[in-house]
Structure 1
Amino acid sequence: MSLAINWNNEQEEYEITDALITLLDSILQKAGAAEGIDKGEVDLTFVDNERIHELNREYRGIDRPTDVLSFAMNEAGEDEPEIIYASEEAEEYGEVPNTLGDIIISVTRAKEQAEEYGHSLERELGFLFVHGFLHLLGYDHQDAESEAEMMSKQEQVLAQVGLTR
């Protein structure tokens, strides 16, 4: 098993092409390799500003649209039991997929930011995707040091696939 993207399109502003998914898959493989992760699944959903606004309000208590949301599956909450798969079950049902989490990208906001920053929509979608992926792995940008680390990792991956500014 390698890293895989399961994607869904819930917006109509921009056609999600096979070429875009191939690009995002390449980003996922490079980001995963840089972090020493070679197995797992990422669920990616493309939405519009209205839908991401709803999700941001519901899950983060922030009443405005945002560009990307990440929901890590491997974070154990305080009251959540740890799930342990017995080796017999794993053998019987095959390898249990390692779902890393969900990334939700507002294509509306990505288009606005691409124009604002003067680069392509593909570059902005790639940036938001790798940004979301790093969040799934536990990276954050709450202070200048962690933001610089995250930004550096993002730019290194994007440079490897030719998505420079």
Structure 2
Amino acid sequence: MIEIRNLTKKRTNTEIIKKLYNKIFPPTGRAGHKKFELDVVLASPRLMLALNKKYRKKEKVADVLSFLLEKNRGEIFLNASEKNLPYLFVHGSLHLLGYDHKTNQDAKQMSMKELNIFKK
């Protein structure tokens, strides 16, 4: 299940995010239940700065922040001012699934996964 909340005044079409969610977290079980519960928050640059300071100790506005709350539950904050929200959503989702880009090899693997999601 995905829930999207827009905390800004900027109108955003969230249908693409819902479609990408279905690609990244496919249904499981007979009833089509999602294994992964996800809250997506469209946030202002000011909130993204505050969250980045608090949780990552970084003094800059983040474009995306992902938080794994439980094994099958997470939260993604997207900077609503950014132009490429679908890409940021995919990037944040992959972080929740354990992908990162700390090394060149990890970054390459994550980038390939991102491309594959958009090709589907």
In structure 1, the partner of 2:74 is 101
Q: Which residue of 2 aligns with 1:5?
A: 2
Larger RCO, structure (CA 8 Å, separation 6 or more): 1
The one-letter amino acid paired with 2:117 is V
1:107 maps to a residue whose letter is: A
Q: CA shift at 1:22, angstroms?
A: 2.2
- Residue matched to 2:24: 31
1:63: Cα distance to partner?
0.8
Residue 83 of structure 1: aligned partner: none
Q: Which of 60, 69, 73 lines up with 1:73 in the alignment?
A: 69
1:131 and 2:91 aligned: yes
* Corresponding letter in the other structure for 1:24: I
Which residue of the partner structure matches residue 31 of structure 2? none
Q: How does 1:1-165 map to 2 (within 5 A)?
A: 4-12=1-9, 14-17=10-13, 21-33=14-26, 38-74=34-70, 98=72, 100-108=73-81, 110-111=82-83, 124-160=84-120
CA distance in 1, matches of 2:2, 2:74: 10
List structure 1 runs of 4+ shifted beyond 4 angstroms: none
Alpha-carbon distance, 1:32 to partner: 2.2
Length-normalised TM-score, structure 1: 0.64
Q: What 5-or-longer segments of structure 1 have no aligned partner?
A: 76-97, 112-123, 161-165
Percent identity of equivalent pairs: 31
Instruction: Tell me if structure 2 keeps the 8 A contact 1:44–1:104.
Output: yes
CA deviations on 1:63-84 (whole Å, 9 max, x unpaired) are 1101000000136xxxxxxxxx
Query: How far, CA to CA, are the matches of 2:3 and 2:35 in structure 1?
Result: 14
Higher strand share: 2
Give the Cα–Cα distance (whole angstroms) in 1 for the partners of residues 96 and 69 of structure 2.
8
Structure 2 alignment gaps of length 5 or more: 27-33
Aligned length: 113
Larger radius of gyration: 1
* Separation of aligned partners in 2, 1:127 and 1:147: 15
